């Protein structure tokens, strides 16, 4: 059994036994599939996933279906996600459509600025392009119920 397999079998034993933390970087798409299935089998947890626009996980071109299922249906099992990405325009729409808020650092890449402006409104462009290095801004996605 490979290292990831041993880890996942051990982590599965913690489900429902109190808080624990996991830091994991997927090596290939098979691990992403297995990890997403493992997390979905658990309940009431927070998953922090870095660089979600990379590694075939939650990127626009090839999101892993198991990860997208976790994004779309995980809330029914009490699973909350915090995801980071360097490139907003490369994150799967399935993921951004479920976002309650987006925290953006300074944006200089035209496609990322365009995406954030189209998704969160034209007022966002000036806010994210005028930030100083390491400053951030909360930009809210549109409220699907029109309550914003």
Q: How far apart are the first and last CA of the chain?
A: 50
Phi and psi for 59 in degrees, rounded to 5?
A: -90, 165
Q: Is 139 exposed, middle or buried (0-12, 13-18, 19+ CB in 10 A)?
A: buried
Per run of 10 residues, the mean pLDDT along the chain (length 148 residues) is: 54 59 65 80 82 69 80 89 88 87 93 93 93 92 64
Q: What is the pLDDT of residue 16?
A: 58
Q: What is the pLDDT of residue 1?
A: 45
* Token pair recorded at residue 71: 């994004």
Q: What is the pLDDT of residue 12?
A: 56
Q: What is the pLDDT of residue 22?
A: 63
Q: Which residue is listed with tokens 């549109």?
A: 142
């Amino acid at each position: 059994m490979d290292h990831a397999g041993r880890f996942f079998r051990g982590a599965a034993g913690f489900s429902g036994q109190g808080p624990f933390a996991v830091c994991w970087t997927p090596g290939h798409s098979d691990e992403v599939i297995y990890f997403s299935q493992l997390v979905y089998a658990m309940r009431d947890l927070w998953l922090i996933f870095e660089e979600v626009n990379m590694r075939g996980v939650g990127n626009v071109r090839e999101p892993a279906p198991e990860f997208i299922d976790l994004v779309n249906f995980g809330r029914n099992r009490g699973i909350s996600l915090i995801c980071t990405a360097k490139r907003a325009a490369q994150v799967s729409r399935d993921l951004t459509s479920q976002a309650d808020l987006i925290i953006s650092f300074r944006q200089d890449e035209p496609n990322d600025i365009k995406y954030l402006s189209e998704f969160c409104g034209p007022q966002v462009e000036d806010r994210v392009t005028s930030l100083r290095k390491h400053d951030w801004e909360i930009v809210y996605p549109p409220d699907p119920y029109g309550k914003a």
